Amino acid sequence: MITNAERNDVAGQMHMDFLAVTQQAAIAAYPWIGKGCKQEADEAGTTAMRENMNRIGMCGRIVIGEGEMDEAPMLYIGELLGTGQGPRVDIAVDPVEGTSLMATGQDNAIAVIAASSEGSLLHAPDMYMKKLAVGPQAAGRIHLDWPMSENVLSVADALGKKVSDVTVMIQDRPRHKQLIRDVLDTGARVRLFSDGDVTGAIATAIEEYNVDMLAGTGGAPEGVLAAVALRCLGGDIQAQLLPQHDGEYERCIQMGLPQPGTILTLDDMVQSDDCLFVATGITDGMLLQGVRQRNGTALTHSFIAYGGSYAKFQFIESYH
């Protein structure tokens, strides 16, 4: 665990710098909405992110990169960013979270960054991860080893709700057929989504979105991004890496995860309160509005969450 004495004050010093990065990545990706070009969209967002992060006064290192699964352009794991002077920072990025959504003009594509004090973010390889996430009121009341029925009952109790009023977000994939059935069998509601589980995890921690739990299997990098957001928001997440073959298992070992099947807690994934999460909408979605172009001016809508003593979140509209 990173102690207060070792804090860089990442959240306090750098939030506006990282906000500018996600804003510029979203603006760069905007022309590719609905063009069917996933790689070109990702490359535009990646280039903008890299250029803008290299202007920040920090010693930054990418610990969660993007693109290995999709063979997309990468901000690669281990890449050094920033001027080389300033706070030492772990960075997790996804320049276009929801490339398929964006390429087909659908909702919920975002540009996203999470950052924390050096050495405090889980180095998760790009593979599948099982996840269970909740907001602040249900923190500590979930476990991946429990049957889904027990988790739903526990969350309902924590929230003071009837089980029939609990809503669980699950990605609409064939692999989740049984999970969906298990939730429905409890009498709880299911809310399906196509892509973008980072947004779903954040929604569990903001009451007006009426989402009580996120469950299912998705990308591990997105799991760490969601964990940072939930740490800032007071929520909770448990996760488990799911290597699909020997190569992925060996990659876990190489990245310092000798027991890939171990259940990971929020503290395992984000070891410091000195963290922040920033996202800017590319297309409209549940959490954010997409980029809008008006008479040569771009309008962006962003979300920032801070950890530690700051412990708050903001929505920000900006003109560029």
- Residue 222 counted as an annotated binding residue: yes
88 is in an annotated binding site: no
**DSSP string computed for 143-201:** -TTS-HHHHHHHHHHHHT--GGG-EEEEE--GGGHHHHHHHHHHT-EEEEESS-HHHHH
Question: Does 50 appear as a known binding residue?
Answer: no
Q: Provide the sign of the torsion angle of the four alpha carbons 225, 226, 227, 232, taken in this order.
A: positive
**172 in a known ligand binding site:** no
Give 256's contacts (C-beta < 8 A, 6+ positions apart).
123
Which candidate, 66, 56, 113, places its Cα nearest to that of 90? Answer: 113
* Ligand-binding site membership of 219 (annotated): yes
The response to whether 196 counts as a known ligand-binding position is yes
* Annotated binding-site residue? 292: no
Residue 82 marked as a ligand binder: no
175 appears as a binding residue in the annotation: yes
CA 186/CA 116 separation, integer angstroms: 38
DSSP string, 89-136: EEEEEEEEETHHHHHTT-S--EEEEEEEETT-B----SSEEEEEEE-G
| Annotated binding-site residue? 66 | yes
Residue 174 labeled ligand binder: yes
Binding-site members for substrate are 97-99, 128, 173-175, 195-197, 219
Binding-site members are 42, 66, 94, 97-99, 128, 173-175, 195-197, 219, 222
Binding-site members for Mn(2+) are 42, 66, 94, 97, 222
